[in-house]
């Protein structure tokens, strides 16, 4: 396990993943207070000044977590693509806003690793291929978030088993597994494979505190993984969405394939109201408050660990 000062403060080894139009101050503050890293994309705040206000509000609520406990970190997702005109001002807000973890996406994190490290911020980069993982590791990140097949929103295509083993083979920093994790058994499985943390997006759409409209949350709860479709129509990058939503989309929105070439931050921001979700809709059966969801994941993780230990003892007795 790649240890940091903040991993010791987690109740379970998990990050509530950043989600466009879903993660706001309420979801993030509740996640941090419940004991998982609470993350949101900086572009969910309408401006860098609003981002500063959101961080102040989240930190105020994190400071009031129960006595004797320290809240888990808040993480901000920064899109590092060259078309992000807010990157410099959002970075300044992050540096002054008590943020302990930054998660970069869509591009090389190289330009921001230095200032973030100088301020003691952990830098994770989300990556969908070994090529991108190497680019991030060369840039000096502390960890990689592996986007695997079935992840909600911008997705990867790699198999989770193969990708985690491959990343672990070449990197002893922090490895975070994203895609298809909806319960405690999935979190334990990620750890068994060699990941340090699991990254859960879709499961947190169906929380009371998420910014998702009620019909979208209900769609996530009702859907099975057969109802998830991969499309490049949203941002130009491959993304997983509810097929129910995709049927209502103008095909003229069509984008490119498989590279960052068709992506721009303006395009991302013009596509608000997308019902993104991944294969873990199959494990999402109800809307819960964030604190209850984290407590449930904790219970499931303990039960999965006990089942694994019982199976291991039976194996030893049979040998
Ligand atoms: C609705 C939605 C919006 C997302 N928006 C972002 C985003 O703005 N930035 C980002 O880095 N990842 C985004 N993602 C990806 C998640 O951070 C995460 O990688 C993914 O949800 C993990 O897979 P899971 O949904 O199977 O748990 C989004 C995912 C969803 C479902």
The atom of ligand 1 lying closest to the CA of 150 is 26
CA–centroid distance, 147 to ligand 1, in Å, is: 9
Dist. CA 280–CA 290, nearest whole Å: 17
Return the pLDDT at 255: 37
Nearest-CA residue for ligand 1 atom 5 is 19
CA–centroid distance, 19 to ligand 1, in Å, is: 5
Task: Classify the phi-psi angles of 68: left when phi > 0, otherwise alpha if psi is within -120 to 50, otherwise beta.
Answer: left
pLDDT digits (tens, 9 = 90+) for 78-92: 999 999 999 999 999
pLDDT digits (tens, 9 = 90+) for 13-65: 999 999 999 999 999 999 999 999 999 999 999 999 999 999 999 999 999 88
Burial class (CB in 10 A: 0-12, 13-18, 19+), 291: middle
Domains of the chain: 7-214+277-318 (3.20.20.70)
Query: Which residues lie closer than 8 Å to 311 by C-beta, 6 or more apart?
Result: none
Give the chain's end-to-end CA distance (angstroms, integer). Answer: 30
Nearest-CA residue for ligand 1 atom 6 is 19
Query: Across-strand partners of 14?
Result: 198
Does the pLDDT value for residue 71 go beyond 60?
yes
CA–centroid distance, 275 to ligand 1, in Å, is: 11
Burial class (CB in 10 A: 0-12, 13-18, 19+), 111: middle
Ligand 1 binding pocket (C-beta < 6 A) is 17-20, 22, 41, 77, 105, 126, 147, 151-154, 178-181, 199-202, 205, 276-278, 280
The atom of ligand 1 lying closest to the CA of 202 is 25
The atom of ligand 1 lying closest to the CA of 126 is 11
Q: What is the arithmetic mean of pLDDT over 256-268?
A: 62
pLDDT digits (tens, 9 = 90+) for 181-207: 999 999 999 999 999 999 999 999 999
CB atoms within 10 A of CB 56: 12
Gyration radius (Cα) of the chain, Å: 19
pLDDT digits (tens, 9 = 90+) for 106-149: 989 999 999 999 999 999 999 999 999 999 999 999 999 999 99
């Amino acid at each position: 396990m790649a240890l940091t000062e903040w991993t010791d403060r987690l109740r379970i080894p998990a990050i509530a993943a950043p989600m466009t139009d879903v993660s706001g101050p309420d979801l993030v503050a509740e996640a941090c207070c419940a004991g998982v890293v609470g993350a949101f994309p900086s572009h969910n705040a309408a401006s860098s000044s609003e981002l500063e206000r959101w961080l102040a509000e989240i930190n105020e609520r994190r400071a009031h977590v129960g006595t004797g406990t320290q809240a888990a970190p808040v993480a901000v997702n920064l899109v590092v693509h060259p078309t992000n005109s807010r990157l410099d001002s959002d970075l300044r807000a992050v540096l002054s806003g008590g943020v302990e973890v930054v998660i970069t996406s869509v591009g090389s994190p190289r330009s921001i690793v230095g200032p973030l490290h100088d301020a003691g911020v952990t830098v994770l980069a989300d990556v969908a291929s070994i090529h991108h993982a190497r680019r991030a590791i060369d840039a000096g990140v502390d960890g990689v978030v592996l986007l695997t097949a079935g992840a909600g929103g911008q997705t990867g295509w790699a198999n989770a088993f193969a990708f985690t083993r491959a990343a672990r083979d070449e990197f002893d920093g922090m490895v975070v597994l994203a895609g298809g994790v909806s319960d405690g058994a999935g979190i334990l499985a990620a750890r068994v494979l060699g990941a340090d943390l699991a990254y859960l997006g879709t499961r947190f759409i169906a929380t009371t505190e998420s910014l998702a409209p009620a019909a979208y949350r209900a769609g996530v709860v009702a859907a099975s993984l057969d109802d998830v479709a991969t499309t490049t129509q949203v941002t130009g990058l491959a993304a997983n969405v509810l097929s129910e939503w995709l049927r209502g989309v103008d095909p003229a929105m069509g984008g490119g394939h498989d590279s960052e070439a068709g992506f721009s931050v303006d395009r991302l921001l013009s596509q608000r109201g997308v019902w993104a979700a991944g294969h873990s809709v199959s494990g999402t059966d109800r809307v819960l408050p964030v604190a209850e969801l984290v407590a449930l994941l904790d219970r499931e993780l303990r039960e999965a660990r006990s089942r694994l230990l019982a199976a291991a003892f039976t194996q030893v007795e049979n040998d």
